[in-house]
Amino acid sequence: MRILISNDDGVAAPGLAALHAALADYAECTVIAPDQDKSGASSSLTLDRPLHPTTLPNGYISLNGTPTDCVHLGLNGLLPQVADLVVSGINLGANLGDDVLYSGTVAAALEGRFLARPAFAFSLLSRLPDNLPTAAYFARKLVEAHEQLDLPPRTVLNVNIPNLPLEHIRGIQLTRLGHRARAAAPVKVVNPRGKEGYWISVAGDAEDGGPGTDFHAVMQGYVSVTPLQLDRTFADGFNSLQPWLEGLL
């Protein structure tokens, strides 16, 4: 069993080390991660310059690219053997609801969609590493049990772990993605030379966060597991779109 591990917080992130430690005695693990924080990189690929892998003293491979670059190279020739499974994280910060559109953590897992087994993206609901052992515990439990899963190809499991000690976790819930309200406006700044710039503001609060959603589960103290697929086709829209298109001819 070979696992490719990546993240978007960067190769030196504590969550990456915690995930690797949790899985290292379960499978043959290879870490390929960005050389710096690439949060919010989504599924971007680097196409304007070459990528240079560097093997660090701890055996991790650092790459001057995005999370998707890391997994793409790992599955397409950088490694002598192709991995069986892709696992991403442990992200310091939630990836709930609409966050999955921007998340480099989820994007790294999505790039593993070509493999036969489902990929995992793990996130802890905190910017601090205090409860990383809780997240690492559930990462191990879920990955260990993945061979019993019967899921269609190109499925990713997005897992969010509450920022709680292990003994305070109430269980695991299967959830759907909730939705956030619109984000706050970008924050305008002016540098000492008068040049204007903007900081992207914080994500909006949960707007659709009721029972059954990932937002609700983690707020109630449960680990949230949400199955994701890349196909975003809105099949129900065909009924209204077909006559609309025919009317244009």
Annotated binding site for a divalent metal cation: 8-9, 39, 91
Whole-angstrom distance, CA of residue 104 vs CA of residue 93:
12
Rg of the chain (C-alpha set): 19
Given a contact cutoff of 8 angstroms between Cβ atoms, the answer to whether 12 and 38 are in contact is: no
Task: Please name the residue that has the structure tokens 């290292």.
Answer: 24
Given a contact cutoff of 8 angstroms between Cβ atoms, the answer to whether 97 and 177 are in contact is: yes
For the residues of 154-193, what is the DSSP string, one character each?
A: TEEEEEEE-SS-GGG--EEEE-B--EEPPPPPPEEEE-TT
Q: Which residues are annotated as a binding site?
A: 8-9, 39, 91
Cis omega (within 30 of 0) on the bond before 161? Answer: no
In total, the chain counts a number of residues equal to 249
Give me the phi and psi of 17, to 5 degrees please. -60, -40
Task: Please name the residue that has the structure tokens 């950088």.
Answer: 78
